[in-house]
Amino acid sequence: MATVEETGVLAPAWRGGFGRLWTAAVVSRFGDALRGAALPLLAVSLTDRPLLVASVTACGYLPGIVFGLLGGAVADRVDQRRAMWTVDALRGLLVALFAVAVALDHASIALLIVLAFALTTLQTLFDNASTALLPALVDRAALGSANARLMTGQQIAGGLIGAPVVPLLIAAGTAVPFAADAATFLLAAALVCSLRTEAPERAPRPAGDTLRRDIADGLRTLWRDRALRGLCVASSLCNIGMGALIATLVLLVTGWLDAGTAGYAAAMTAYTVGGLAGGAVNRRITSRLGAPRAVLLAGSVQIGALVLMGGVRSLIAASSALAVFGFMGMVWNVNTTTLMQQRAPAEMLGRISSAFRTLAVAGAPLGALLGGAVATAWGANTPALLAASFFVLSVLALIPARKPDVPVVAPDDDATTARAPR
């Protein structure tokens, strides 16, 4: 594992495995942005029924909740590198076939729904394998910098480059964005396949060991660790608030603020730029506060940003609040991921990350429904205030976890957690 020291903090060296993994992640996110922007446009061209259009998006989220835990259990049983490149090669093939169908004018809403469901189902294995693979490529002390670089690169590729390119590609042909997405999947698969990592050493599994038992062990280990439990509960509460905000943000900007589509684009750009800035300075924040306190700070500042967003009727105020919100959101995401990778037993990282991700993401659909209900009852600005209330609960859930216990061991080891010395 190659690392370099930057301002007193270990950072991963670009050469070798991390550089290729970073490139694969960024290229893949660029393709995701192309597909994510092109699918709704294609859906609208095929039907004018809002429920069918929404079904395409819904089927992109459903597998993460249904199959997320299973994907984590499988990721702990297989060679993560091989799982990642195999999944990306399969996704590239599926999207390439879909691009051919679009080019031949054989696309349908049913086909879009099947594609969205299949890609996200495969992604549950890919994401958990990726989370488990990174510590094999990067020294644990450099995981924070590695995660920040990965997430910042992905946000640049997806938020600043990918989406604006879609209109140009669609002008060349409706199938072109999907063909480009297929190419990014295949390139990412080749990059991951070229990684030289040893297959993980795993103890022989006891007789009768099942995926169901593996999933249960991951959930128990997550719950027994005070820091991971607090982070998971906090992330679930945050995602309820995020679901309420994201589902109604376009109404807040175009309706309550009367800023139109140009104002919405400006607000979303502010959010993206804020996220990039957060990724750039996260290392400095974490080196001064430590990861647990950095997460606590991020959640606390986001509360203020949400109150400003929902309480001040000004596009400038809303855009500034979204920039701060995106900045601290990146700090939150980087440090929660890093803490999970550092504290989870290596042989259970896939299961713990899947349990964490599934429990956290499950709150978003509930939040979206709540956001729509309060916006209908009390106005388009109230979902932001509702989100702020969930972030308050999230910060309260973090307080007991700010001084974490020593890392836990797997449940079958009959060990308990001890308090870290003060």
CA-wise closest residue to 99 among 151, 26, 6, 172: 172
Q: What pLDDT, on a 0 to 100 scale, did the predictor assign at position 417?
A: 36
Q: What pLDDT, on a 0 to 100 scale, did the predictor assign at position 320?
A: 95
Choice between 272 and 208, residue whose per-residue pLDDT is larger: 272
Section 261-283 average pLDDT = 86
CA-wise closest residue to 407 among 340, 350, 308, 361: 340
The span from the CA of 350 to the CA of 17, in Å, is: 19
SS3 percent helix, strand, coil of the chain, rounded to 5, is 80, 0, 20
The span from the CA of 24 to the CA of 6, in Å, is: 24
Q: What do you get for the CA distance between the two ends of the chain, in Å? A: 31
Q: What pLDDT, on a 0 to 100 scale, did the predictor assign at position 7?
A: 45
Place of tokens 């429990």: 359
Decide if pLDDT at 1 tops 60. Answer: no
Q: What pLDDT, on a 0 to 100 scale, did the predictor assign at position 14?
A: 64
Decide if pLDDT at 222 tops 80. Answer: no
Contact 9, 287 (CB under 8 A): yes
- DSSP string of 283-307, one letter each residue: HHHHHHH-HHHHHHHHHHHHHHHHH
Decide if pLDDT at 211 tops 60. Answer: yes
Q: Which domains does the chain show, CATH number per domain?
A: 9-198 (1.20.1250.20), 213-413 (1.20.1250.20)
* H helix or E strand, kind and range, residue 4: strand 3-6
The span from the CA of 4 to the CA of 22, in Å, is: 16
Backbone dihedral angles phi then psi of residue 3, each to the nearest 5 degrees:
-135, 160
Contact 76, 349 (CB under 8 A): yes
What's the pTM value of the predicted model, to 2 decimals?
Answer: 0.70
Q: pLDDT-based confidence at 209, cuts 50/70/90?
A: low
CA-wise closest residue to 405 among 229, 218, 237, 216: 229
Q: What pLDDT, on a 0 to 100 scale, did the predictor assign at position 205?
A: 55
